[in-house]
Structure 1
Amino acid sequence: MKIECPHCGVRGTLDDAYAGRKIRCPKCKTLFQVGGQQEVTPPIGEQDSVPPPMPPDPETVQEVTEQTAAEAESTTPAAEKPEAVEEAAPPEPDTTQVKQDEVPPMPPPKARPHATREQTYGSDVRFTVGGLISRAWELTNGVKGPLLGGLAVMYGVSMVIVGVITFLIMALNIDENGILANLLNIVNSALSMIFTAGLMYMGVLRATGRQVIWKDVFAGFPISGQIIVASLLQMILVMIGFALLILPGIYLMVGYLMTFPLMLDRSMTPWQAMEASRKAIHKVWWKIFGLYLIVMLILCISAIPFGIGLIWTAPMSIVLCGVVYTMLFKEN
């Protein structure tokens, strides 16, 4: 059947099953009865005698409309489904309140500044000589094999070069002070410095909790040129120091002990590493000097019974280098 809103005049079609029921106009929201004598309830805004109630909730109106349509569908055959009554578009949600209630995002945390070299290297260091030796002895467990392997490679290469020089002198009657012999000696010294840097770096790896393998003894070869430059600079400055009443030379020898580890672990240039090492050791120079005197004494004593004791003390001295490095430069 056809219906018409008695208030606003909107028209539509509805199934006969709705006869006698009250429906709400989708346009003006007037409630009226379908068929027979139509009882009209004007919109809330137009009632004068009754105080205006709270405006209907759009979601409640939508639920009532959907419930009425569902009841009609359940009682009406599929062929007699009424045409859809014109419905007003649902109001757009008001996002003003949502925007007002939104919590402003927290500002991103500020990045923690990295420690500068001056802050790291100039910090006060407290330690005992016995504590460092004890720590190095503990860390030697588990890495004696790789460290002894690195030492074997270093001394094996050196012995080969010395054997070549001896063969040339004896078999080919080459002057031991000749150019070729001196050149081989220079090569042997350079390789020894590079291998020494690799061994010290192995001690740093162990003291900082990283894996150590015997091949780490070759870690200095990628920067072999810089290691040779650093060795030459140290030799020149130490010789000048010895020429100046000996004590400055001893001071520089001890002060430059951490040069190679800094070059390998922190990618410093030779001069940067030398200065960083000297500044870090300066405040604790006497303790470091006494520490290495004790270590040299331990190595000499352990070498007395056919060098058997060096199996333990030589790896410990390498790890000790890493322990001193971590203590001076605040590594974890």
Structure 2
Amino acid sequence: MNQTKIQRIIDSGVDFNIEEILSKAWEMFKSQALLHIGFMAMIAAIQVCFSLYLEDITFLYAIFLSPPLVCGFYLVANRQNQGEPVDFQNYFDGFKYWWDLVSTNLISSVVVILGLILFIVPGIYLLVGYMFSLLFVIYGGFDFWTSMELSRRLVHTNWLKFFLFGLALLALNIAGFLFLMVGLLVTVPITYLAVYILFEELTIDAVEEEPKNTAIHG
């Protein structure tokens, strides 16, 4: 990704249709439903194991394993979007960016928590603002602070719309939880696919011609 082009996108402002993004995420989910559900079930099983048997070190999962695992959805979504074949091992490609994802997720989480504890409103602002941080790490190759700032500045151009998008995703997952929690196997993957789709649509003009494993291609 070209940072200058990203800045141009930020300067011009962004807008999007929430319903359209969710609809595209649903279609993407359906095309590889068994794989998405299977990977989500694996993540849920790992979380349950930590909660039941490794409760004292559950934080280690959240810090060191969760970021690359959930980013597996972003990487598979990219493959789906390009019409490339997908298999289960592709979900683990997030570990190729392990340290950058872990450091970015940890630092952004600390900043958000401090904002929530001290002032609440800034914490909410940053929670929404950092939604693309990990995607900028993967597809932009940026360091943690640049990724966080690019995400925040991009979201800032239309923060209320992104906030409503986040509420829509939250409502979707609450609905999934109410279906005896089984629905989360569907709604959580859709959530990550939707974030990826939105990110791609907003930043596609900043993509440079690079090898497929380092950039989003439209």
**TM-score normalised by structure 1 residue count:** 0.55
Q: CA deviation at 1:145?
A: 1.9
Q: Is the 8 A contact 2:73 2:189 kept in 1?
A: no
Q: Is the 8 A contact 2:40 2:185 kept in 1?
A: no
Q: 1:136 aligns with which of 25, 35, 47?
A: 25
Q: 1:165 aligns with which of 54, 58, 62?
A: 54
The one-letter amino acid paired with 2:137 is M
- Tell me the residue number matched to 2:36: 147
Matched, 1:118 2:7: yes
- Tell me the residue number matched to 2:215: none
- Write the mapping of 1:215-294 to structure 2, written as runs, cut at 5 A: 215-294=89-168
**Greater relative contact order (CA < 8 Å, ≥ 6 in sequence):** 2
- Tell me the residue number matched to 2:175: 301
Contiguous gaps of at least 5 residues in structure 1: 1-112, 167-180
Contiguous gaps of at least 5 residues in structure 2: 206-217
CA RMSD in angstroms comes to 2.5
- Write the mapping of 1:44-55 to structure 2, written as runs, cut at 5 A: none
Q: CA deviation at 1:208?
A: 5.2
- Tell me the residue number matched to 1:127: 16
- Tell me the residue number matched to 1:319: 193
Q: Is the 8 A contact 1:200 1:260 kept in 2?
A: no
| Residues 197 and 326 (structure 1), Cα distance of their counterparts in 2 relative to 1, 3 Å cut | same
Q: Is the 8 A contact 1:198 1:216 kept in 2?
A: yes
| Residues 315 and 260 (structure 1), Cα distance of their counterparts in 2 relative to 1, 3 Å cut | same
Size of the alignment, in residue pairs? 204
Q: Identity over the aligned pairs, expressed in percent?
A: 22
Q: Is the 8 A contact 2:128 2:163 kept in 1?
A: yes
Flag as ranges the 4+ runs of structure 1 deviating above 6 A.
none
Distance 1:198 1:121 in 2: 27
More helix by share: 2
Distance 2:3 2:70 in 1: 30
Q: CA deviation at 1:225?
A: 1.9
